[in-house]
Amino acid sequence: MPPTPDSVARPHGGPFGYFDDARREYVITRPDIPLPWINYLGCRDYFGIISHTAGGYSFYRDARLRRLTRYRYNNAPFDVGGRYIYLRDDATGEHWSPSWQPTQNELEDFTCRHGLGYTTIASRYRGVEASTRYFVPLDEDLELWQLTLTNRRDVVAELSAFSALEFCLWDAQDDATNFQRNFSIGEVELEDGVIYHKTEYRERRNHFAYFACSEEIAGFDTQRDAFFGPYRGWDRPLAVERGQSFNSVAHGWAPFGSHHVRLRLAPGESRQVVFILGYCENPNEAKFDPPDSQTINKRKAKATIAAHVRPGAADAAFAKLEAYWLERLAVCRVETPDVHTNRMVNIWNPYQCTATFNISRSASFYESGIGRGLGFRDSNQDLLGFVHLEPARARARLLDLAATQLPSGGAYHQFQPLTKRGNNDIGGGFNDDPHWLTVGVAAYLKETGDWSILDERVPYDNRPGSEEPLERHLERAFAYTLERLGPHGLPLIGRADWNDCLNLNCFSDTPGQSFQTTANKDGNVAESVFIAALFVLAGTELAEIAMRRGKAKYTELYRAEAARMAGTIRRHGWDGSWFLRAYDDSGAKVGSHECAEGKIFIEPQGFCPLAGVGLADGTARSALDAVAEYLATEHGIVLQQPAYSKYYIQLGEISSYPPGYKENAGIFCHNNPWVMIAEARLGDGDRAFEYYRRINPSAREALGEKHRCEPYVYAQMIAGRDAPTFGEAKNSWLTGTAAWNYHAITQWILGIRPDYDGLVIAPVFPRAWPGFSVERAFRGATYHIEVVRHGPGNRVSLTVDGTPVPGNVVPPAPRGGARVEVEAVVQ
C-alpha cells in the first residue's frame, strides 16, 4: 500500500506516521510497516498488548500463569492473532478486516492511533467507516472493544460484524506445549449471548474469562476450527465468508470467542457495538451455581457486563482513563527548545516507564511473557522513571522486592508477579543485584521524603518470622559485597553484573546451556569494576541516609568503604586512559588496551563518574573522551570496541552474539544515559544532550526505514556499527532505557532533581539554548521553574518566590498545593 497523502503531507512525520502531540497519540498511517508497532492496555492487574493491526493478547497480572488469550510468537507474518473484527457486506458477500490484518484487503484512510492506555484503529472500505477503540477501563479486570460503524454510502448497508479471539488455556507455557492433555480439556458455557471460557474451572481454578457483546447476536462460535473451517486460518474464516456463525460449542481442541452481529445502517447512520473481554474470580466455596452443579456462578460477571453495555458507559470509562493519564503527566512537564525532548518527557517517556514498571521484562512482542518475571535489578531501576508518578505503588514494589532478598544480602534475580516469590530456576548470585535496591529506595526517599519506609519490617526470601526493617536489608546488601571481594579488592562478579552476558565463571562449551546459570568456576577470582562503581554509589546514598537518621557510626562506615572502593578502582580499575571493565577467572584484564578485542567498555566509563569516581583527578574526563573517540556513533554509543569476532569461553554470552548485536558492541540503550549523566556531572551539557538526542526515538522518527521500531518508545538495542544493519532498533518497550533516559534528561540535563532535602536545580544543558521551563509537582507542592541562560556555564543563581536563595536547593514548600515560583539564572 503506498503511503497515504496524509502522511506525505506532514512536515515532521516519519515514513509511517506522525506524532499528534495535542492528543498525545502516535498516528500510524499505513498498516504494512516494517514491524508491528505496539501499545499496552491496562494499568494495574488486567493487561493487554496490541499492535497497530489489532494483533496481541491479554493477561491478568501474570503473562505466563494467567494468559487470557492465545498468541503465537515469531509467526509468519510476524504478527497474526489478536482482537479481530471482521465486517461483511451481506448484500455482496464481500468481507474485510477493518484493522487490515488478517484479511489484508486494501483499505482507505487506514489510521492506528496509539494513545495512553488505548488504541484506536480506523479505516474505510467501500463506503463503510469502522473505528475500533480498544482500552481497559481503570480499576476493571476487562477490556472494551468499542466499534463504531458509519455508512457513508448513499444506500442502506446490510452488514455483519464478527468478533474473533482465541482463548489461552491459562498457563501460556503449558498451552504452547502440552497438547496431549490440552486438546481434551477445553470447556465453555454460553448464556445470553455471552461466551464463558472455563477450562480447568472444574478442578483447581476459581477464575474464568467471558466475552460479551452489547448487541443481540445472530450467532456465535466457540470452537476455533468450526469458525475457520477446514485448512483455513485467520485470513479466510468460513463463518465470515458464508455470513453465518456455526454456533459451535467447544469440547476440547481450541476454545474460541466469536459473536455475529447483523446491522442495517441507513445512509449516514452510525452504530456502536461494544465487545467486552473480562476476567472473573469467584470464591472457592461459590464457584458453581447451583452449588452442586458444574455450571459457573456468573452473578459477578453478569453485573459487570450489565454495567459496561449501558449506553454511554464505554465513553464514560474512557473519559476517566484520559483524566488519569493527564493527572500523571502533569507531575512533570517541560518546555524546551527541542520538540523531541518535550514530547518524550511530557508524554511518551513516562508512559513507557509505566509499562516497564507494570510489565518489567515479561511481555512484549520480543518477550514472550513466559520467560521472565520481574527482575530484581530491572524493577529497581525502573523506579527511577516511575516513583514520581505513583509513589504509593513504588513503595509497595520496593517492599515486595526486598521480601525476595536473601539473608546473605543477595537477591533472587527474578520473581513471578502472581506469587511474588523468588524464581528458583534462575536463582541468585548476580552480584550487582542487591545494590539496586539501595538505588531504588534512595530514589523513593528523595522523591517523597517518606522516611517511614526504612522502618517497614520485611522478611527475607518471603519467610515468615525473618522480618527486619528495610534499613537493615540495605545494610545487608552493602555487606554482601564487602564479604565478596576478589584478589584486587574489587567485588567478585558472580554469575554476571549489570551486563547479563559477561559470564566470567561460566566457561560453557555445551550448546543450549544457560550462560546465566551455569558456573564451572569457584567464582573467587573474577571481579567487576562496574559493581565497584555501583557499590560506591550505594555507599554514598547509604551514608546520606544514615546521616539523616542520626546514625553517625554507619555514616562513617559507608563513607569510608565507598572511599576505599573508589581508591581501589583508581589503583586496579584504571587502564591508563579509561576504566577497566573486569578481571576474568584467570586474573586477566577485560576491557583494557592490552586486550585484542573488547578493549574499552561503556559501563564503567559511564557509571564511575555517575557514582562520583574520578571527577576530581581527571580520570572521569579522560574516560569520557575515550567514549567519544571509540564508542560514540551517530546512532548512539556502542557497548564495547572492538566487537568480539569469535567466542571466548572465558567471557561467556557477550561473545556469543555476532558483532554489533546486543551486548557484543550493540548500542545497548540502557547504558547510554549513564554517559549522559557522567557528562552532565562534568559540566558538558552539549555532549550530554547530543548523546540524548541520538537515541531519542522521536528524533529518530525520520529514520524509520532504518530504525524500524516504534518512534514513540525506546528499544533495548540499536545495532552497532559492526553489524550489517547498523542503526536498526530491536526489542522495543521493555527496557531499563526508559527509566534511565527519563532520569538523565529530567534530573541531570534539565537538572531538576529531587534530593533528600529539597529540589535541586542544577541544569547542564546545551549552550545554544536560551533556557527552558519546568512544572514539577514535588512533595505536595507545585514548582514552576524558569531557567534562563545568561552565560555559557552551569553556575546557578536561584530566586524562589521573588527572594534570592543561596545555593541551588529549593527547600520543600509546605504540602497542600502551594505553588512556588523559581527562577534559575545560569551563567
Indicate which residues carry an active-site annotation.
500
State which residue, 199 or 731, has the beta carbon closest to ligand GLC: 731
Coil, strand or helix: which one is 26?
strand
Q: Cα-Cα-Cα-Cα dihedral of 88, 94, 100, 106, to 10°?
A: -150
378 binds ligand GLC, rule: CB under 6 A: yes
Size of the site for ligand GLC (CB under 6 A): 14
Q: What is the DSSP letter of 647?
A: -
Task: Kindly tell me which residue out of 48, 375, 539, 652 binds ligand GLC, with binding defined by CB under 6 A.
Answer: 375
By CB under 6 A, residue 505 contacts ligand GLC: no
Contacts (Cβ under 8 Å, ≥6 apart) of 571:
488
- Minimum separation from the CB atom of position 514 to ligand GLC (A): 8
Q: Which listed range, 89-97, 496-504, 621-629, 706-714, lies at the site for ligand GLC (CB under 6 A)?
A: 496-504
**If 0-12 CB within 10 Å is exposed, 13-18 middle and 19+ buried, where does residue 306 land?**
exposed
Binds ligand GLC (CB under 6 A): choice among 7, 346, 368, 716: 716
Task: Determine which residue in the list 500, 527, 701, 823 makes contact with ligand GLC, applying CB under 6 A.
Answer: 500
Shortest distance, CB of residue 652 to ligand GLC, whole angstroms? Answer: 9
213 three-class SS: strand
Cβ at position 754, least distance to ligand GLC in Å? 24
| CB-nearer residue toward ligand GLC: 557 or 639 | 639
Dihedral sign computed on CA atoms, order 290, 291, 296, 301: positive
- The answer to whether residue 64 forms part of the interface with ligand GLC (CB under 6 A) is no
Within 10 A of 723 (CB to CB), how many other CB atoms are there?
23
Only one residue has cell 495512553, namely 116
Q: How far is CA 477 from CA 113, 452, 470, 497, 582, in A?
A: 45, 19, 11, 14, 21
- Shortest Cβ distance from residue 259 to ligand GLC (Å)? 40
To 10 degrees, what angle do helices 602-610 and 672-681 make? 40
Among 143, 175, 653, 710, binds ligand GLC (CB under 6 A): 653
Interface residue with ligand GLC among 167, 201, 498, 661 (CB under 6 A) is: 498
Residues 717 to 746 in contact with ligand GLC, rule: CB under 6 A: 735
Q: Is 229 exposed, middle or buried (0-12, 13-18, 19+ CB in 10 A)?
A: middle
Query: Closer CB to ligand GLC, residue 68 or residue 426?
Result: 426
Using CB under 6 A as the binding rule, whether residue 499 contacts ligand GLC is answered as yes
Specify the residue, 213 or 493, whose C-beta has the smaller distance to ligand GLC: 493
Q: Which of 152, 151, 147 is nearest to 134 (CA)?
A: 147
Residue 663 in the binding site for ligand GLC (CB under 6 A)? yes
Nearer CB in complex with ligand GLC: 279/668: 668
Cβ-proximal residues to 167 (8 Å cutoff; 6+ apart), any chain: 68, 69, 70, 186, 197, 199, 209, 254, 255, 256, 257
Q: Are 426 and 516 in contact (CB under 8 A)?
A: yes
Residue closer to ligand GLC (CB basis): 143 or 500: 500
Read off the amino acid at residue 24: R
Three-state DSSP string of 257-308: EEEEEEEEECCCCEEEEEEEEEEEECCHHHCECCCCCCCECCHHHHHHHHHH
The residues, ordered by sequence, that sit 6+ positions from 617 with a Cβ below 8 Å of its Cβ are 570
Residues 352-371, interacting with ligand GLC (CB under 6 A): 361
Min dist CB 735 to ligand GLC, Å, is 6
Contacts of ligand GLC in 382-401 (CB under 6 A):
none
User: Shortest distance, CB of residue 759 to ligand GLC, whole angstroms?
Assistant: 30
Q: Which of 133, 572, 662, 789 binds ligand GLC (CB under 6 A)?
A: 662
Which residue is nearest to ligand GLC, using beta carbons?
500
Tell me how far apart the alpha carbons of residues 160 and 277 are, in angstroms, rounded to a whole number. 20
Q: Which is nearer to ligand GLC, 95 or 361 (CB)?
A: 361
Query: Which parts of this chain interact with ligand GLC (CB under 6 A)?
Result: 361, 375, 377-378, 498-501, 516, 653, 662-663, 716, 735
